[in-house]
Amino acid sequence: MKDKIFSFIEKSSELAIELQRELCKHPAISPESGGEGELSKCEFLEKWLRAHGITELERYDAPDSRAKSGIRPSLLATIKGKKDDERFWVMSHLDVVPPGEESLWDNDPWTLIIEGEGSERRLRGRGVEDNQQGLTSSVIAALAFVEQGIVPERTVKLLFVADEENGSLYGIDWIIKNHPGFFNKNDLVLIPDSGDPKGESIEIAEKNSLWLKFITRGLQAHASRPDQGKNAHLAGADLALNLFSALNKKFSKKDSLFEPDYSTFQLTKKEANVPNINTIPGEDVFYYDMRVLPCYKNEEVLREVDLVKKIIEEKYGVKVDCEIVQQKESLPTSSDAPLIRLLSECIEEVYPVKARTMGIGGGTVAAFLRNAGIDSAVWARIESSAHQPNEYALLSNILGDAKVMALMMCK
């Protein structure tokens, strides 16, 4: 059976290219980034899957008045297996990020460009790697069973979710909250959304994330009369530096599972204050992106932030407000979980490389599943060109990852 499945996948280059080409024609950009959401892309994919024999399809539409037709759709495809008590899921996302500065692209970002020959062809366009590589691989793997009349060992679920790029409020988070029992506790979930060029890295844990907005409120004055004002920018700058020093000192543990192996506290976005040089700002706003090792809780970080904030308020006579823009804590998947053992075995059989487990500082949809008690792994053999101009995916990775997924479906 394995030879028959692999033969189908190896002959599916044009099918994979066709699907990638059509997906590229449907930009699925979130309303936060100026787009209309995923509906057009989801409707195309649903029609395409039906035409190719995957007909058990369900839509899960999260309401969002900003999006086309007022919804953010996710699509579920089911291929029934011999066993239904331990289902195998592949979860990819429909949405993509905007192309950015289009002058940096060598072509229209929404038109698939193919470079090279044979299985080493490179497919270029926005979204082809993030996350259409994983999406296409999962579809090719499923079609290897459907089109040849082979029943997989376990029921297969392909889930194509909305809103991954902007926090999943209208995607997997909404599905879990609004559809109890959607997942079973012993389900196995693969998320093909991160990895490395060799396919060695299996992500099983994430750092906790904490995005904070700081608003320093002082008293505006003429720059020549600082005695009549309270410089919010100066106080904010001192606060930013003191936070960096205090947080790195307080939360200094290391964990070799992660790269980097320590918690990170990074000053990022800065909002404009006064438009002219000779005015002392009465208000100043900046942001921190914090990625904290799971051995710490976000509430511990917030307590330390509050201590530093009070010191600055007393020193400068200002008021500092701290707002949580986004926060997330995530449980890990055990490195010895059945999912990880199965995935590692299949990776080694296809590529072959020895897989290793790791943690990341970035956030993925896996966090929502792990916090719900569902084992999940983030893995793909990937070139890591996501979010860049001239984003690309290798055809060999699409087909190779499809083989790994197909093996997991039949073992």
The single residue listed with the structure tokens 């699907």 is 19
CATH architecture, domain defined by 2-194+364-410: 3-Layer(aba) Sandwich (3.40)
Sequence spans of domains, the chain: 2-194+364-410, 208-328
Would you state the pLDDT for residue 224? Answer: 98
pLDDT tens for each residue of 159-205: 999 999 998 999 999 999 999 999 999 999 999 999 999 999 999 99
Which pair of structure tokens corresponds to residue 169? 């409020």
pLDDT of amino acid 10? 97
CA–CA distances in Å: residue 85 to residues 221, 344, 372, 373, 376: 69, 22, 18, 16, 16
pLDDT per residue as tens digits for the range 49-68 = 999 999 999 999 999 999 99
R_g of the chain, CA atoms, integer Å: 24
Look at residue 300 in the predicted model and tell me its pLDDT.
98
Alpha-carbon distances, residue 367 vs 32, 41, 161, 186, 375 (angstroms): 22, 25, 14, 16, 10
Place of tokens 């008045």: 65
Residue 408: per-residue pLDDT = 97
How much is the pLDDT for 330? 87
Q: Which of 38, 46, 64, 95 is catalytic?
A: 95
Question: Model confidence over 207-256: pLDDT tens digits?
Answer: 999 999 999 999 999 999 999 999 999 999 999 999 999 999 999 999 99
Interaxial angle between packed helices 298-316 and 232-250, expressed in degrees from 0 to 180 and rounded to the nearest 10: 140
CA–CA separation, 218 and 202 (whole Å)? 48
Number of residues that this document lists for the chain = 411
The yes/no answer on whether domain 208-328 falls in CATH 3.30.70.360 is: yes
Beta bridge partners of 332: none
- Considering the candidates 38, 64, 130, 164, report the single residue annotated as catalytic: 164
* Tens digits of pLDDT across the chain (411 residues): 899 999 999 999 999 999 999 999 999 999 999 999 999 999 999 999 999 999 999 999 999 999 999 999 999 999 999 999 899 999 999 999 999 999 999 999 999 999 998 878 999 999 999 999 999 999 999 999 999 999 999 999 999 999 999 989 999 999 999 999 999 999 999 999 999 999 999 999 999 999 999 999 999 999 999 999 999 999 999 999 999 999 999 999 999 999 899 999 999 999 999 999 999 999 999 999 999 999 999 999 999 999 999 999 999 999 999 999 989 898 999 999 999 999 999 999 999 899 999 999 887 899 999 999 999 999 999 999 999 999 999 999 999 999 999 999 998
| Separation CA 363–CA 236 (nearest Å) | 28
- 164 carries an active-site annotation: yes
For the question of residue 306 being annotated catalytic, the response is no
pTM over 0.85: yes
Secondary structure of the chain in the HEC alphabet?
A: CHHHHHHHHHCCHHHHHHHHHHHHCCCCCCHHHCCCCCHHHHHHHHHHHHHCCCCCEEEEEEECCCCHHHEEEEEEEEECCCEEEEEEEEEEECCCCCCCCHHHCCCCCCCCEEECCHHHCEEECCCCCCCHHHHHHHHHHHHHHHCCCCCCCEEEEEEEECCCCCCCCCCHHHHHHHCCCCCCCCCEEEECCCCECCCCEEEEEECEEEEEEEEEECECEECCCHHHCECHHHHHHHHHHHHHHHHHHHCCCECCCECCCECEEEEEEECCCCCCCCEECCEEEEEEEEEECCCCCHHHHHHHHHHHHHHHHHHHCCEEEEEEEEEECCCCCCCCCHHHHHHHHHHHHHCCCCCEEEEECCCCCHHHHHHCCCCEEECCECCCCCCCCCCEEEHHHHHHHHHHHHHHHHC
What is the Cβ-side half-sphere exposure of residue 101, based on CA atoms within 13 angstroms? Answer: 2
Check if the beta carbon of residue 209 is closer than 8 Å to that of residue 263: no
Q: Can you give the pLDDT at residue 304?
A: 98
Residue type, 352: P
